[in-house]
Amino acid sequence: MPSDEDQVRQRKQKLQELKEQGQDPFDIHSFDRTHTSAQVVAAIEAAETAAGDEDIDWQASGFETTVAGRLMAVRDQGKSIWADLHDASGKIQLWVTENELTGAAFEKFRELDIGDIIGVRGHAFRTRRGEPTVQLSEFQLLAKSLRPLPEKFHGLQDVEIRYRRRYLDLLANPQVREVFAKRTEALKAIRSYFDGRDFQEVSTPMMQPLYGGANARPFITHHNTLDMDLYLRIAPELYLKRLVVGGMERVYEIGRVFRNEGIDALHNPEFTILEGYQAYADYTDMMALFEELLRDIALAVNRCLQFTYRGHDIDLEPGWERKSLLDAIKEACGVDFSQLSTDEEAREACRDLELGDMTQDNWAALLDKCFDRYVAPNLIQPTFVIDYPVRVSPLAKRLPDRPHLVARFEPFIGGEEIGNAFSELNDPVDQRERFEAQARAGLAGDAEAHPLDEDYLMAMEYGLPPTGGMGMGVDRVIMLLTGCTNLREVILFPQLRPEES
């Protein structure tokens, strides 16, 4: 009431008074409910169905229920109060009247604040206006909310607060809850796909003595007892292939990987990757796998293979287009990398393109730039880009008829790369040479060069069967299927700079 008190102080004051009356809500450990809000609604509908054409006398055929949740709205009419209670399943309206919730209890309900967690018991019915409702006979405060919630009509708009305090975003914005529910469905669909084909789900180390399996800069951490630095994995690939050496013929892992690189709408330092390996299969099998997997995920998330992304209508029907990487680049910007061998030649050939500063770029970097600038944005319908040069693919098997290329593809949807797959290189002699070439690139200044991994080579020397492998950026696929254009919208707690203290 006094003007210098803000809403937090008012609420703390109420809590203090409750404690002084021996009614500390934080003393409560559990609360048994008979229904969720959705179950109350369903039970009301069931009662109506049972009654058929006859009008229901809710006084007689309503039922007792106990529900719990967060008080999200209050419409006080004096002797009668309407309120909305939200729980994980949805919401249910509450009706508080003096003749059912008598005397002091009625006044106590009025002391509640929006945001409080309460448990209620009462009589379920449907109002004249058609709203499923519980008329309270008693209630209990289960947790006091000390801070005011965001405004109900506009929700929470400030993106910075939405990411930093995602719980408020989830409370205030139903469509955000929907996106993360879809994310869960997507992950279930992925597991269902692999489990149904006899793949074994495994967990491999996130802390690795040597990183590998992708081209990226790692995070470094330190183990005190071992007194050694460890890398957070940039990919699970090399461990999963060790498992294939060990006779696990079909394995997959869904897990977090960590890459010490820039943060933007398409990159978070930690993100969720799917990798799968299938012995006795090759990259064409992985193409079929991708088509089926994306179909299953889309059906789980959207119940439909067609969706719209950034204004493009996209169709995930299997039978995706295939495009040669080098041909596509040549068509799009006129540079034929198959005719270029040195870094200098590549820079010369790209001289007139809009690629920014090329002085630090080697052949592989320029290839990437040309592709990202001129080809990828146009790969809207699902497309497999195939026939990658061996020099940018240190872990993939060569094509027998064109040994400078490898049996590899990257799938693109909506102009975005969503994965990577190849026939796994299983020749330990060739693998050692590729690692050594990467090591030379590293010495020459390529910060993302793949390090030489003797332990992995040893495993391969025992014999890796011919194997097809695939990786997929789970977050990016979920972005596409939910229509989000920013990775942060599908990661619950995206990385941000700390707030100023």
Shortest distance, position 196 Cβ to RNA, whole Å? 26
- Hey, which residues between 418 and 447 contact RNA (CB under 7 A)? 419-420
Sole binder of RNA in the list 24, 48, 131, 138 (CB under 7 A):
131
Shortest distance, position 105 Cβ to RNA, whole Å? 14
Does position 159 interact with RNA (CB under 7 A)? The reply is yes
State the Cα torsion 317-320-321-324 to the nearest 10°.
160
- Hey, which residues between 371 and 400 contact RNA (CB under 7 A)? 372-373
Question: 57 vs 317, which CB is nearer to RNA?
Answer: 57
Helix ranges (H only) for 173-282 are 174-195, 237-245
Does position 150 interact with RNA (CB under 7 A)? The reply is yes
Task: Determine the 3-state secondary structure of 382 from DSSP.
Answer: coil
* C-alpha–C-alpha distance, residues 98 and 108, integer Å: 12
Beta strands 63-76 and 80-87 are antiparallel
Shortest distance, position 265 Cβ to RNA, whole Å? 4
- Hey, which residues between 204 and 223 contact RNA (CB under 7 A)? 214-216
- Residue 329 structure tokens: 């680049």
Sole binder of RNA in the list 166, 183, 242, 369 (CB under 7 A):
369
Sole binder of RNA in the list 97, 284, 302, 381 (CB under 7 A):
97
* C-alpha–C-alpha distance, residues 242 and 204, integer Å: 10
- Hey, which residues between 74 and 93 contact RNA (CB under 7 A)? 74-80, 82, 84, 93
Distances (CA, A) of 252 to 63, 214, 282, 288, 468: 49, 17, 16, 16, 12
* Site size with RNA, rule: CB under 7 A: 78
Does position 365 interact with RNA (CB under 7 A)? The reply is yes
* C-alpha–C-alpha distance, residues 491 and 308, integer Å: 21
Question: 166 vs 259, which CB is nearer to RNA?
Answer: 259
Sole binder of RNA in the list 473, 477, 478, 481 (CB under 7 A):
473
Which residue carries 């002391």 as its tokens? Answer: 111
Does position 259 interact with RNA (CB under 7 A)? The reply is yes
Stretch that binds RNA, among 37-45, 180-188, 342-350, 413-421 (CB under 7 A): 413-421
Give phi and psi for 423, each to the nearest 5: -75, 125
Q: Between helices 174-195 and 474-482, what is the axis angle to 10°? A: 130
- Per DSSP (E only), the strands in 144-191 are none
Give the per-residue contact string, 323-362, with RNA (x = CB under 7 A; - = no): -------------------------------xxxx---x-
